[in-house]
Amino acid sequence: MNLLERIKSLLPAKKKQAEAQEEQPQPVSAINEPATTPRKEKKSPDRFTVVSWSATAALVVALLGGTLYYKSTLPPVIVNVPAATEEASAGGTPQVPQPGAGAEGGGVLPSIFRKLQVKTNIPQRPRYKPELYRVARGDSMYRIAELYKIKSETILYVNEQLDDNPHSLRPGMELQIPPEDGLYYQWKDGDTFEAIAKKYFAEPDDIVNFPGNEIDLTDPKIEPGATVFIPGGSRELRNWAADLATAARGANTGTGGANAANVCGGGPVGAGFGWPADSHTLSGNAYGPGHLGIDIDAPEGSNVYAAGTGVVTMAAGGWNYGYGNVVQIDHGNNYVTVYAHLSAILVSQCQTVGQGAVIGLSGNTGNSFGAHLHFEIRVGGSNINPYDIVQ
């Protein structure tokens, strides 16, 4: 019974489900329907996206800038590579620094900071041939020698047009500048390295080994007529001071030199020396074998002072072997001072002067290259460096 009742109860439910399906509308084909245009939706700007990307970009720029600034403030770290130990030189295993050793924090080798150079530094090659130099206005032998790191007398040795006188410089003059101190010599038949080296106070091996001479070391010889450079060589320079005729005071003072003539009587004796010009700087040549005085900065017409008390033994205008207008003072203590290239002479021969008295005006007379005061000190007729005496 129960089974039949259950079957009956199910039949009405099935019937109702079928009726419900019949009542639902059936799908209709859309083949014959007119075409429609899809509707475009209006999109508004996404503010969140724009703001988020802008914030991200600003954050990245800030982080990069902060990193670069931090790196630029770091001090450079120098990595010291230890030299090979005795153990390594003896055949043992060399000690290799471990990564991070010596660096703060350890872990990796520190960076080596190098200064960025836009230009490449090309090392200067040694020079073995003479270089041509054209004298410019305002040049001096001292300045040219300093420029080429040689002695001023070296320039006199190799340039005959100077006639051993640094005051012979003229604008436009072309000078041969050797690669180092020394002189050139034209080899003659019968010359030997030993004889030429002895003549010019040099070493034979220096002549043979100088690369500019291009001597075959396996068979060292030089053909007659060839020009050879003698490194470190020197010769006697003409003493222009000895050519200047000077006068002396008193008998047997020995202060006038070989050419002195006793034309003035006695007078006061000097005690100490002062500076002869207002400026205490050099304008050109310093004291040396080729220049027996100093050239003091003294513009045209500036005062020239007696360095010490004494008697004027020379006050002459003219060429005077290149000295131009010149004054000489005999100080009576075996010392003589000379003042050259003056534009005006304000004292006369045999006049007594005191230390600091104005004896003339600076100029550019004689063999002079620009206005200055050429100042000399002599002892018994021989020149000495004024810097050793004048205060």
- pLDDT category of residue 162 using cuts at 50, 70 and 90: confident
**Residue 157 pLDDT more than 60?**
yes
- pLDDT category of residue 87 using cuts at 50, 70 and 90: very low
Write down the pLDDT at residue 101.
47
Q: What is the mean pLDDT of the chain?
A: 79
Between residues 228 and 36, which one has the greater pLDDT? 228
Length of the chain (residues): 391
Question: Which residues have CB under 8 Å from 229's CB, separation 6+?
Answer: 178, 179, 182, 183, 184, 185, 207, 210, 212, 213
**Residue 211 pLDDT more than 90?**
yes
- pLDDT category of residue 103 using cuts at 50, 70 and 90: very low
- pLDDT category of residue 89 using cuts at 50, 70 and 90: very low
What mean pLDDT is predicted for residues 136-140? 79
**Residue 224 pLDDT more than 80?**
yes
Highest average pLDDT, of 117-131, 137-151, 250-264, comes from 137-151
Between residues 79 and 137, which one has the greater pLDDT? 137
Write down the pLDDT at residue 100.
47
Between residues 105 and 370, which one has the greater pLDDT? 370
Please state, in angstroms and rounded to a whole number, the distance separating the CA atoms of residues 220 and 164. Answer: 32
What domains lie within the chain, and their CATH numbers?
131-231 (3.10.350.10), 240-388 (2.70.70.10)
- Cα–Cα distances in angstroms (integers) from residue 83 to residues 77, 90, 100, 108, 339, in the given order: 19, 14, 18, 21, 62
**Residue 113 pLDDT more than 80?**
no
CA 112 to centroid of chain Cα atoms: 28
- pLDDT category of residue 102 using cuts at 50, 70 and 90: very low
What mean pLDDT is predicted for residues 54-72? 83
Provide the whole-model pTM: 0.54
pLDDT digit string (tens) for 292-302? 889 999 999 99
Write down the pLDDT at residue 303.
96
Lowest mean pLDDT of 26-40, 220-234, 371-385, name the range.
26-40
pLDDT digit string (tens) for 303-360? 999 999 999 988 989 888 788 999 999 888 888 899 999 999 999 988 999 999 999 9
Write down the pLDDT at residue 85.
47
Write down the pLDDT at residue 36.
53
> Which percentage of the chain shows pLDDT scores above 70?
70
**Residue 77 pLDDT more than 90?**
no
Please state, in angstroms and rounded to a whole number, the distance separating the CA atoms of residues 220 and 267. Answer: 64
Write down the pLDDT at residue 69.
78
